[in-house]
Structure 1
Amino acid sequence: MCGRFSLTATPEEVQEMFGLEEIEDFPPRYNIAPTQPILIIAGDRRREEGDNRTDRRALLARWGFLPGWVKDPADFPLLINARSETAAEKASFRAAMRHRRVLIAASGFYEWHRPPKGSNEKSTPYWIKPKGGGIVAFGGLLETYMSADGAEIDTAAVLTTAANQMIARVHDRMPVVIRPEDFSRWLDCLNQEPRHVADLMAPAPEDYFEAIRISDLVNKVANSGPEVQEPATDEFAPPEPAKPVRKAKAPPAASDQLKLF
Structure 2
Amino acid sequence: MCGRLTLTHPTEALAALFSATPGNDLPQVPNYNLCPTQDVPVVTSDAGRRLRAMRWGLVPSWYKTPTDGPLIINARSDTVAEKPAFREAIRQRRCILLASGFYEWSAGEGRERLPWHITRADGAPLALGALWTPSGDMATVAVVTLGAGPNLIPIHDREPLVLDPADWPLWLGEAGHGAARLMQVTAPGVLVSHRVDKAVNSNRASGPELIEPI
Relative to the length of structure 1, the TM-score reads 0.77
Name the CA shift for 1:190/1:73 in 2 (closer, same or farther; >3 Å).
farther
Moved over 4 A (4+): none
Task: Show the 5 A alignment for 1:69-218.
Answer: 69-115=62-108, 119-120=109-110, 122-146=112-136, 152-188=137-173, 191-192=176-177, 196-218=178-200
| Identical-residue share of aligned pairs (%) | 38
Secondary structure (helix, strand or coil) at the match of 1:167 reads coil
Amino acid at match of 1:29: N
C-alpha displacement of 1:72:
4.2
C-alpha displacement of 1:89:
1.0
Secondary structure (helix, strand or coil) at the match of 1:74 reads coil
Q: What value does the CA root-mean-square deviation take over the aligned residues? A: 1.7
In the alignment of these two chains, the number of paired residues is 212
Name the CA shift for 1:169/1:154 in 2 (closer, same or farther; >3 Å).
same
Q: Who wins on radius of gyration, i.e. which is larger?
A: 1
Secondary structure (helix, strand or coil) at the match of 2:13 reads helix
Q: Which runs of 5+ in 2 are unaligned?
A: none
Among 26, 29, 32, the alignment partner of 2:31 is 29
Partner of 1:50: none
Name the CA shift for 1:11/1:71 in 2 (closer, same or farther; >3 Å).
closer
Question: Does the aligned pair in 2 maintain the 1:80–1:157 contact within 8 Å?
Answer: yes
Deviations, residues 38-74 of structure 1 (Å, cap 9, x unaligned):
1101111x3xxxxxxxx10011111110111223433
Relative to the length of structure 2, the TM-score reads 0.93
Question: Does the aligned pair in 1 maintain the 2:128–2:143 contact within 8 Å?
Answer: yes
C-alpha displacement of 1:178:
1.2
Distance in structure 1 (CA, Å) of the matches to 2:21 and 2:139? 21
Distance in structure 1 (CA, Å) of the matches to 2:7 and 2:205? 15
More strand by share: 2
Name the CA shift for 1:136/1:154 in 2 (closer, same or farther; >3 Å).
same
